């Protein structure tokens, strides 16, 4: 392999002649062989978008020649289009507060611009990674801005999938509105409800999670571009400081605002913590629902068995006919991962010192993974589970009718003590509450039918249930 020699402040290093990356990217690759995962593709594209906007602003202010600007812009456009991503060789988790990622972008863009201008890669007299591509910038304002841009570009897919899930749950809430079932608290029989209300509650938390995510996303629109190293705009021209945010907004198609306090925006990353918290909250809610779905579908003969989940694959290599709730299982596993990512992000944000947080690489790696994984898990939950759930209405009804929990409805009429005695005897003898009330002559048939009307207890009109014609 032919090599070229490049130099930095550490010394010289051989780099493959045809490589678009340079010496600093090569050192980072050697230093940070951590995950084997490269930078997120959207983060790479957003680094290029920032470099493009910077080149345009710097050319307009006379600090970059038109020829260099045009070459840099073309190189950035190519990267945004998906080219040269293989030249971004640094690990997603890296020391240096993102300097390696920023320099990887600077070197790739510089070498591609050199090539466009007819030069040979590595001849930085033509276009220099630091002096030209990184002009008026610092890793400390470029990298967090690219991270915020990436979050804003990834979140819409997650929100869209949550909206699909919300609609699917609304459909199930309507479909199951007349299905009487036993409500349970602490895994024990409580009072009657409907399967529709169960799914309506799931729908409500999804709507709430969407609001939380959209609210948290607004904090990503405040960026510190122009603040350079610590927020004091050292080495940034007044023209650059004044115009860069508008040019980035135009390039990305999102209206950003320059942070009111560039020092604060450079050293504090609490906005990412808030986004992660909203994602974690959604994951926790979805996992709780997944727990419910597994319980409600358990059996199918020897469990609760109130619903049937779609059969997606064989559940055992040894037990014939066994089908497992694999979709809720994978959603919970994603939630476990995201809870861990949220803790990582929290600790990384807390561990920043003085004028800069050095741990943005792990924040971004964790946050981007959380957004992508949750979006994918919600998509499979909606398509492969929620939409195909069926109610076992007869089983639900039977469990309510035979439950001692309906004795609660007797309290206002016969008192708590007698109702409690009825419930205990029902559990002991297997007789229904209805049978015992009539057997003991505590109420007339008409009174018993009225008080223990399961549809009334569940708060649904009689005609809503398929069992409406069944005498209770």
Percent of the chain with pLDDT strictly greater than 90: 86
In this structure, the number of other CB atoms found within 10 A of the CB of residue 65 comes to 13
Nearest to 259 by CA among 273, 270, 274: 270
pLDDT band at 471 (very low <50, low <70, confident <90, very high): very low
Per-residue pLDDT band for 323 (boundaries 50, 70, 90) equals confident
Q: Is 316 a catalytic residue?
A: yes
Domain with CATH 1.10.275.10 in the chain: 3-135
At residue 13, the pLDDT reads 93
pLDDT at residue 469 is higher than 70: no
Percent residues over pLDDT 70 in the chain? 97
Q: Could you tell me where in the chain the CATH 1.20.200.10 domains are found? A: 142-174+190-392
Mean pLDDT of 275-291: 98
Q: 312 falls in which pLDDT band (50, 70, 90)?
A: confident
Mean pLDDT of 392-410: 91
For residues 344-357, average pLDDT: 96
Listed in sequence order, the residues at least 6 apart from 232 whose beta carbon sits closer than 8 Å to its beta carbon are 262, 263
Q: Does domain 142-174+190-392 have CATH number 3.40.50.20?
A: no
Across the range 39-63, mean pLDDT stands at 97
- The residue annotated as part of the active site, out of 33, 61, 276, 316, is 316
Q: Does domain 402-464 have CATH number 1.10.40.30?
A: yes
**For 10-19, 118-127, 132-141, 457-466, which range has the lowest pLDDT when averaged over its residues?**
457-466
- pLDDT, tens digit (0-9, with 9 covering 90-100), for 144-195: 999 999 999 999 999 999 999 999 999 999 999 999 999 999 999 889 999 9
Contacts of 396 (CB under 8 A, 6+ apart): 179, 180, 181, 182, 195, 306
With a cut of 60, say whether residue 467 has pLDDT above it.
Answer: no
**E-strand spans in 309-442?**
390-391
User: Would residue 254 be called left, alpha or beta, if left means φ above 0 and alpha means ψ between -120 and 50 degrees?
Assistant: beta
CB distance 20 to 3 below 8 Å: no
Distance CA 267, CA 250 (A): 26
Q: Residue 466: pLDDT above 50? A: no
Q: Length of the chain in residues, anyone? A: 472
Q: Are 216 and 273 in contact (CB under 8 A)?
A: no
**Phi (first) and psi of residue 337, to 5 degrees:** -65, -45
58 in Cβ contact with 52 (< 8 Å): no
Residue 5 neighbours by CB distance under 10 Å = 10
What pLDDT, on the 0 to 100 scale, is given for residue 462?
60
Class of domain 3-135: mainly alpha
Tell me the pLDDT band of 1, cut-offs 50, 70 and 90: confident
Band (71; pLDDT cuts 50, 70, 90): very high
**Can you tell me the distance from the alpha carbon of 449 to that of 444, in angstroms, rounded to the nearest whole number?**
8
Q: What is the DSSP letter of 402?
A: T
pLDDT confidence tier of residue 324, bands split at 50, 70 and 90:
confident
By the 8 A CB rule, do 286 and 336 touch? no
**Euclidean distance between CA atoms 99 and 122, whole angstroms:** 19
- Report, as an integer, the average pLDDT of 330-355: 97
- Does residue 348 contact residue 362 with C-beta atoms inside 8 Å? yes
Q: Residues spanned by CATH 1.10.40.30 within the chain?
A: 402-464
Taking each helix axis as running N to C, give the angle between helix 360-384 and helix 270-296, from 0 to 180 degrees, rounded to the nearest 10: 30
Could you tell me which residues are beta bridge partners of residue 15? 4
Asked if pLDDT for residue 465 goes beyond 70, the answer is no
Look at residue 317 in the predicted model and tell me its pLDDT. 64
The tokens for 169 are: 């749950």
């Amino acid at each position: 392999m032919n090599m070229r020699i490049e130099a930095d402040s550490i010394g010289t290093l051989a780099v493959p002649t045809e490589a678009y990356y340079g010496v600093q990217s090569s050192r980072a690759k050697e230093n940070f062989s951590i995950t084997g995962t490269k930078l997120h593709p959207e983060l790479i594209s957003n680094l290029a978008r920032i470099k493009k906007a910077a080149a345009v602003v710097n050319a307009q202010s006379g600090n970059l020649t038109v020829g260099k600007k045009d070459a840099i812009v073309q190189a950035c456009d190519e990267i945004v289009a998906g080219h040269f991503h293989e030249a971004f060789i640094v690990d997603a988790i890296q020391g240096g507060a993102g300097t390696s990622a920023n320099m990887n972008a600077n070197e790739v863009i510089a070498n591609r611009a050199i090539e466009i201008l007819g030069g040979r890669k590595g001849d930085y007299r033509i276009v220099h990674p630091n002096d030209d591509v990184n002009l008026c910038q610092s890793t400390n304002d470029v990298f967090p801005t690219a991270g915020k841009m990436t979050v804003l570009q990834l979140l819409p897919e997650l929100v869209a999938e949550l909206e699909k899930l919300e609609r699917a749950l609304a459909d199930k809430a309507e479909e199951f509105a007349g299905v009487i079932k036993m409500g349970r608290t602490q895994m024990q029989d409580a009072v009657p409800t409907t399967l529709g209300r169960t799914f309506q509650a799931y729908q409500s938390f999804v709507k709430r999670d969407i609001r939380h995510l959209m609210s948290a996303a607004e904090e990503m629109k405040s960026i510190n571009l122009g603040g350079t190293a610590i927020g004091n705009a050292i080495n940034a021209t007044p023209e650059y400081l004044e115009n860069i945010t508008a040019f980035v907004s135009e390039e990305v198609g999102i209206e950003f605002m320059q942070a009111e306090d560039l020092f604060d925006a450079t050293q504090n990353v609490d906005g990412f913590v808030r986004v992660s918290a909203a994602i974690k909250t959604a994951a926790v809610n979805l996992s709780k629902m997944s727990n419910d779905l597994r319980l409600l579908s358990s059996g199918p003969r020897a469990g609760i068995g109130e619903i049937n989940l779609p059969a997606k694959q064989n559940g055992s290599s040894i037990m014939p006919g066994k089908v497992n709730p694999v979709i809720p299982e994978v959603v919970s596993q994603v939630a476990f991962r995201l809870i861990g990512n949220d803790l990582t992000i929290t600790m990384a944000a807390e561990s920043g010192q003085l004028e800069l947080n050095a741990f943005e690489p792990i924040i971004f790696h964790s946050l981007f993974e959380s957004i992508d994984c949750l979006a994918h898990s919600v998509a499979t939950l909606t398509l492969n589970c929620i939409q195909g759930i069926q109610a076992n209405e007869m089983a639900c009804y039977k469990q309510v009718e035979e439950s001692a929990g309906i004795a609660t409805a007797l309290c206002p009429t016969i008192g708590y003590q007698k109702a409690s005695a009825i419930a205990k005897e029902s559990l002991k003898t297997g007789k229904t509450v209805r049978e015992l009330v009539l057997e003991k002559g505590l109420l007339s048939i008409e009174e018993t039918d009225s008080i223990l009307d399961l549809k009334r207890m569940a708060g649904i009109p009689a005609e809503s249930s398929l069992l409406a014609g069944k005498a209770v």
